[in-house]
């Protein structure tokens, strides 16, 4: 039982690793992909070779994020952190929806944009919880991510959507590591 709880606790890190594996496999199957010209979602779009790798991978990663959010709820008694985990659960659903509505479908832009917005809101709620719990080191790091993320995404002239997405994913990964070490 303890092994299952340990796996559950680290399901956020597992989701993080899974996402990078999915991206790497999809890139390997699509030699035309250029990180400086495309969006990551192109790896699951109509022009992709075996788009199932990317799309099913995002669905699996989204489900894993949902499991991680449930662990946060399980491990916490703080209402603000339970709220943050609910926001993270919804972000996991939106990540899965990116795989269900890949590039080239009508809802794709909405679900992919909302995934990043939803994660940002979850990080802000987690930073608030950690501030209230007086875990200032962790809270400060999450507050910095919640500011640097959208500011960098909006103010930097990114050569491609893929690089902007990778920037966001790296910040999410750092936040997951911070959350996993604290919660």
How many domains, the chain?
A: 1
* Cβ-count burial 30-66 (b if 16+ within 10 Å, e if not): beebebeebbbbbbbbeebeebebbbbbbbbbbbbbb
Supply the pLDDT for residue 77: 85
Average pLDDT of adjacent 10-residue blocks, the chain of 183 residues: 86 96 97 96 95 97 97 92 96 97 94 96 96 94 97 96 97 96 86
Supply the pLDDT for residue 1: 64
Q: What's the per-residue H, E or C state across 93-105? A: HHHHHHHHCCCCC
Supply the pLDDT for residue 158: 96
**For residue 92, what are the contacts with CB-CB under 8 A and spacing of at least 6?**
15, 62, 63, 64, 65, 66, 68, 69
Burial class (CB in 10 A: 0-12, 13-18, 19+), 67: middle
Domain span at residue 118 reads 2-182
């Amino acid at each position: 039982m303890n092994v299952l709880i340990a796996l559950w606790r680290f399901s956020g890190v597992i989701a993080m690793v899974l996402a990078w594996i999915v991206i790497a496999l999809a890139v390997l199957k699509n030699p035309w992909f250029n990180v400086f010209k495309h969006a990551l979602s192109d790896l699951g779009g109509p022009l992709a070779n075996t788009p199932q790798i990317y799309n099913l991978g995002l669905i699996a990663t989204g489900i894993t994020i949902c499991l991680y959010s449930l662990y946060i709820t399980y491990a916490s008694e703080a209402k603000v952190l339970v709220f943050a985990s609910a926001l993270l659960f919804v972000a996991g659903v939106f990540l899965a929806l990116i795989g269900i509505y890949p590039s080239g479908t009508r809802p794709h832009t909405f679900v992919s944009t909302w995934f990043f917005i939803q994660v940002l809101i979850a990080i802000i709620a987690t930073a608030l919880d950690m501030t209230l719990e007086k875990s200032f080191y962790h809270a400060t790091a999450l507050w910095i991510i919640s500011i640097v993320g959208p500011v960098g995404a909006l103010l930097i002239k990114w050569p491609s959507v893929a690089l902007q997405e990778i920037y966001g994913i790296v910040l999410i990964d750092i936040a997951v590591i911070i959350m996993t070490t604290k919660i």
